[in-house]
Structure 1
Amino acid sequence: MNKKLREKIMESVAAVLPITAIVLLLTVAAVPLEVGTVLLFLTGAVLLIVGMGFFQLGAEMSMTPLGEGIGTQLFKTRSLPLTVGLCFLMGAIITIAEPDLQVLANQVPSVPNEVLIWTVAVGVGLFLVAAALRILFRIPLPRLLCILYLALFALSFVTPADFVPVAFDSGGVTTGPMTVPFIMAMGIGLSAARSDKNGADDSFGLVAFSSIGPILMVLLLGIFYRPDGSSYATVDIAQVETTRDVAAAFAVQLPHFGREVLSSMAPVLAVFLLFQFFTRRYHRGQLLRMAVGFAYTIVGLILFLTGVNVGFAPVGSLLGSRMADQLWLLVPVGAVIGYCIVKAEPAVQILNHQVEDLTNGAISRRSMNLCLSLGVSAAVGLAMVRVVTGIHIYWILIPGYLIALILTYFVPRVFVGIAFDSGGVASGPMTSTFLLPLSIGACTGAGGSVVTDAFGVVALVALAPLIAVQAMGVVYARKLRFAPEEAPAAPEEEDYIIDLDEEVCA
């Protein structure tokens, strides 16, 4: 096996294994499940692990160089219409292929998958344009974030309550393993080509903007779109008795998800071919590597979506529904899963390593790990409290974002960009594929409102790093202020950010 592929699969094992272990423990101690159902879950977990490994390596080999190439080329052309058009197009088509969004769309009642996916894709496209223009025209990030989030909350008050949690969840799932490598690489290309001392600093913010766009568009969808009915369709679990039945359940669905993946990846491949035809940017070796990367991406997506939709998510929903009689279990189970999930995310470990480098050890990786783990654990615990009590998501989101926005004025500028871009880091595939189905199943079993009480898990997980990273920034700023002679000098922001971007997108 390819060494790099083996590394990616082991990273996927680290992400999936904690949840698998918790589910097995629950089936023994509190919520017994049939043996066939457990086997279905375990098979889905295996496909999820292998699919994530192939997909992450493929995206790294193909989407990262494509994003950086397009960003650099756009700046060189200095054509504003071309920049606007291509940024919108690429933001939309990359989002359509995002697996986390497809998983979310399958779970949103009443709104057809295509309607939600295209709405979110348009939002990402529009705000990727806004992010690129911010880089080109050198507009400060904190002020824009404050204005945009205030506008979002103002709009949410006139949006039907059923759409608000889904809208904020949409912002979290779009910054997934497909979009983040491309968008961050595109930011590198745009900012590096600018060649001024603050250019690299402005490479942050594209992911943050790409999270705002979907929220805005889904809120607008809620105002103007009137779906027929609002009932949630319970997920059916394949009835299996033997290992052959399990294999057949997955084999039957493979062609369906194969067609879905090919149709969503076709526009990405078309843009890649057209870009190469007009620019001749990549030489033969790079083209071969990117072709292999696209193949890995397609294979990984097919395995990932099959594992999630046939085995992993349905069993998560079933587990939640069977916990309806003992809902108190949801809060500690959710908190433990949240604590484990964030520690297993490879991108989180890269973030922690780079913050340690930025502060020359003043903020250690261990401190960052603990801060993020506790933050996400609390976020998931609060999400489960919502399922149990039915409290409105505003009671958590508004104070949370208010704290995050206030902190932007008290931390070094680089921490603001890192924090808001890392909001999508914690809300990885495990959140949308297991935690959301778990909360939906529990809410359904308890007779609550799925759209208002169960959705919002992804949004709260994505909120945690905004506060946690900036809290570490406050600690660092205080150390510099009160003990300047002992605190290590901060490295140049420009050098640091280039290093961070290169490692994230490596």
Structure 2
Amino acid sequence: MRYYARDLLVRLRDALTSLVPILAVVIAFQLLVMREVPEDVGTLVVGMLVVALGIAVFLQGLDLSVFPLGKSLASQFTRKRALVSLLAFGFSIGAAAVVAEPALIAVADQAELVSGGRIDALVLRLLIASSVGAVIVLGIMRAVLGWRIHRFVIVGYVVVILVTYAAPAEVVGLAYDSGGVTTNIVTVPLVAAIGLGLAASLGGRTALLHGFGLVGLAVMVPMITVQVYGMIVYRGTATEQALEPVPPAPSGDVGIGGAADVLGGLLGMLGDVALLVVVVLFFQLVVLRHGVPHPARVAVGFLFVLLGLYAFVVGLKLGLLPLGTLLADQLVARDVPLLILLFAFLVGFATTLAEPALVAIAGQAEEAAPGGVRAGVLRVAVALGVGAGITIGAYRILAGDPLHLYMVGGYGLAILLTLVAPPGIVALAFDLGGVTTSEITVPVVTALGIGLATGVAGRDPLIDGFGLIAFASMFPVLTVLSYAIIQDRLHRRTVR
């Protein structure tokens, strides 16, 4: 019991540490630039603390229940060479994990709000979840058959670009953002564990070439499916005026008033968590016909997952979404574009350096290729990419440029760099692009984008407001691939 309590405190400390960079940037801007203190600053601070607590409890629950059972199931299917069962498990666990992804809940609710209900939040989440499940199946087959990531990346992003030209403008930004928010505190550990676990258990595979790449694919495929969904939703109808964006009531209409509101919110969250629980228990009890090890611990873990997710969305409603909206209003009111761009860069760069998922993936990459990849340099390259990406995304909103021109150009450049980059770095680069958008940055960046699009004359929140997360996912791929190419050229010159 003491061990788990200590572990929870460590997670809470890490979550609070992740808040420090964005708090530092916000405080600096409020005191030095805006020279004012928000009226409801106490509520905003409490909301952010509740977010940190929710993330800590949520992760603790995953570590007690879903993660150990999921890794055990994947390992058992691999040892038994039960490929069909492994594929079915991969699809199910990937889809179920994305449905419970907190950042996706926030973005889906915002999309339903600003689209006037045209985009259904639940349908959007289920569609993205199915896409990620299909990605897991594809990734397992890639590891088993020894395929490299290049052909998937090149063909996949060519399809993304082609679909972008056919998709309605109202859904393009949301589609690209949807790819970025699928890979967070639930999905990344599961997806990375499956990929690296398969590479370690299959002969003739290496972690750098075959273990990485699943996270990058999980970013790409939802971009295609959400744009196709937009074609269906907006087919044959005129664009409706987008609604004024306000902080949404998260899934389940989470309330914080009385006991009835709390109970109703928890019941709403139960649907988000139930699918993940059912998938794990079904494969453990029905497919493998094994009992659940440490059932009491697993039950407590599932309860923690539920409570943590509820706390997260309540904190989101109180703190992060209003904070992003407030900052957007203040920056637009100042009417100084350079301030907006500076704030965008600092938020992206500072929060990415402290991103736990990036620290973990960069560390795993350094272990997989000792001497060839330096974790510290990777983190700086990714942070610069995120900062530059959000800055250029904010500039796009201010200038009113079409999003697809930036996306097509950016991913077209990524394809070219893929062709000349060292093969061992390609999968890692696309994975790093997928782990840059955390549960703390996504709500703030999403609210900032929608707020800018609402405050700048002539902009539409649905068409122009989404897309900042996409920039934050795309530009790190470019910076990491560029870093790898430069390092490779310098190494060859030194050898010569």
TM-score, normalisation: structure 2: 0.87
Q: For 1:481, give the aligned amino acid.
A: R
Question: Which residue is 2:95 aligned to?
Answer: 92
2:293 is aligned to: 284
- Identity, in percent, stands at 27
Q: 2:17 aligns with which of 14, 17, 21?
A: 14
Q: Pick from 106, 124, 129 the counterpart of residue 121 of structure 1.
A: 129
Q: C-alpha deviations, 1:127-179, integer Å up to 9, x for none?
A: 22222222222222111110011011101101001111100100000111111
The one-letter code sitting in structure 1 at the alignment partner of 2:389 is A
- Decide which moves more: 427-436 or 367-376: 367-376
Q: For 1:159 and 1:135, locate their aligned partners in 2 and report how far apart those are by CA, in whole Å.
A: 32
Q: Compared with structure 1, are the counterparts of its residues 193 and 358 closer, same or farther at alpha carbon in structure 2 (3 Å cutoff)?
A: closer
Distance verdict in 2 for CA 1:434–1:253, change over 3 Å: farther
Residue 470 in 1 paired to residue 481 in 2?
yes
Please name the residue that 1:459 is paired with: 470
Q: Once the 2 structures are TM-superposed, how far is the Cα of residue 332 of structure 1 from its aligned partner?
A: 0.7
Give the aligned partner of residue 436 of structure 1: 446
> How far off its partner does 1:187 sit?
2.3
Q: Which runs of 5 or more structure 2 residues have no equivalent in the other structure?
A: 250-254
Listed as ranges, the matches of 1:321-336 within 5 Å are 321-327=329-335, 328=337, 329-336=339-346
**How far off its partner does 1:230 sit?**
4.4
State which drifts further: 214-223 or 23-32: 23-32
In structure 2, the partner of 1:136 is 144
The structure 1 residue matched to 2:305, chosen from 279, 284, 297, is 297
Q: Is the 8 A contact 1:68 1:185 kept in 2?
A: yes
Q: Which residue number corresponds to residue 480 of structure 1?
A: 491
Go from structure 1 to structure 2 and tell me whether the alpha carbon gap of 1:363 and 1:114 turns closer, same or farther (over 3 Å shift).
closer
Alignment partner, residue 112 of structure 1: 120
Q: 1:282 to 1:9 in 2, by over 3 A?
A: farther
Which of 75, 91, 109 is residue 72 of structure 1 equivalent to? 75
Contact kept in structure 1, 2:165 and 2:404, CA below 8 Å: no
Counterpart check, 1:450 vs 2:461: yes
**How far did 1:345 drift?**
0.5
In structure 1, distance between residues paired with 2:245 and 2:139: 39
Judge conservation of contact 1:71–1:188 (CA < 8 Å) in 2. no
Shift of 1:330: 1.4
Cα contact 2:109–2:121 (8 A) shared by 1: yes
Quote the Cα distance in structure 2 between the aligned partners of 1:82 and 1:283: 18
* CA spacing shift, 1:316–1:331, aligned 2, 3 Å: same
| 1:498 match | none
**Cα distance in 2 between the residues matched to 1:363 and 1:93:** 33
Establish whether residue 156 from structure 1 lines up as the match of residue 164 from structure 2.
yes
Q: Is the 1:439–1:454 contact (alpha carbons within 8 Å) kept by the matching residues of 2?
A: yes
2:272 to 257, 261, 264: 264
| Equivalence for 1:351 | 361
Do the aligned residues in 1 keep the contact of 2:93 with 2:280 (CA within 8 Å)? no
2:323 to 311, 315, 318: 315
Partner of 2:431: 421
Output the CA distance in 1 between the equivalents of 2:379 and 2:169. Answer: 35
1:8-47 correspondence runs (5 A): 8-31=11-34, 36-47=39-50
Name the amino acid aligned to 1:320.
A
d(CA) in 1 for partners of 2:76 and 2:373?
37
Residues 468 and 70 from structure 1, CA distance in 2 versus in 1: closer, same or farther, beyond 3 angstroms? farther
Match of 2:403 among 390, 393, 417: 393
Q: 2 CA distance for matches of 1:360 and 1:196?
A: 19
Structure 1 residue 47, shift from structure 2 partner: 0.4
- CA distance in structure 1 between the aligned counterparts of 2:481 and 2:24, rounded to whole angstroms: 32
For residue 455 of structure 1, give the secondary structure of its aligned residue in structure 2: coil
The AA in structure 1 aligned to 2:98 is T
Q: Cα gap change, 1:251/1:433 in structure 2, threshold over 3 Å: closer, same or farther?
A: farther
User: Aligned letter for 1:472?
Assistant: Y
Secondary structure at 2:420's aligned position in 1?
A: coil
- Matched letter for residue 48 of structure 1: V
2:195 pairs with one of 178, 187, 193: 187
Distance 1:102 1:237 in 2: 10
Change (3 A) 1:481 1:423: same
Deviation at 1:271, TM superposition (A): 1.8
CA distance, structure 2, for counterparts of residue 31 and residue 116 of structure 1:
37
Provide Cα deviations, 1:427-456, integer angstroms capped at 9, x if missing partner: 111232111101211221223111222211
Cα pair distance change 1:323/1:291, threshold 3 Å = same
1:93-134 C-alpha deviation (Å, 9 max, x unpaired): 221111110010111122121121122122212222222222
Distance 1:40 1:421, change over 3 A: same
2:245 maps to amino acid: T
Residue 83 of structure 1 deviates from its aligned partner by: 4.2
Deviation for aligned residue 1:350: 2.8
Q: 1:455 to 1:252 in 2, by over 3 A?
A: farther
Deviation at 1:390, TM superposition (A): 1.3
- 1:50 equivalenced with 2:58 (yes/no): no
C-alpha change, 1:293 and 1:475, in structure 2 (3 Å) is farther
Name the SS for the 1:267 alignment partner.
Answer: helix
Going from structure 1 to structure 2, the CA distance change for 1:249 and 1:326 (only over 3 Å counts) comes to farther
**Paired residue type of 1:438:** L
The match for 1:215 among 202, 212, 223 is 223
Cα distance 1:363–1:16, how it changes in 2: closer, same or farther (>3 A)?
same
Q: Which segments of 5 or more consecutive residues in structure 1 lack a partner in the other structure?
A: 239-246, 486-506
Q: Shift in Å at residue 24 of structure 1?
A: 3.1
Q: Deviations over 1:14-59 (max 9, x none)?
A: 2112222333333344447775421111111110111122223333
- Relative to structure 1, is the Cα distance of residues 274 and 219 closer, same or farther in structure 2, using a 3 angstrom cutoff? same
User: Aligned partners of 1:362 and 1:200: how far apart in 2?
Assistant: 11
8 Å contact kept, 1:325–1:446: no
What letter is aligned with 1:66? L
Write the letter of the residue equivalent to 1:323.
L
What is the TM-score with the length of structure 1 in the denominator?
0.86
Query: What residue in structure 1 maps to residue 419 of structure 2?
Result: 409
Using the TM superposition, give the Cα deviation of residue 362 of structure 1 relative to its aligned residue in structure 2, in angstroms. 5.9
Distance 1:354 1:237 in 2: 37
Q: Check whether the contact 1:331–1:384 (CA below 8 A) recurs between aligned residues.
A: yes
Show the 5 A alignment for 1:232-271.
232-235=243-246, 254-271=262-279
Q: Structure 2 counterpart of 1:145, which letter?
A: V
Q: 1:377 aligns with which of 374, 378, 387?
A: 387
Deviations 1:58-79 (A, max 9, x none): 3344333333233334434545
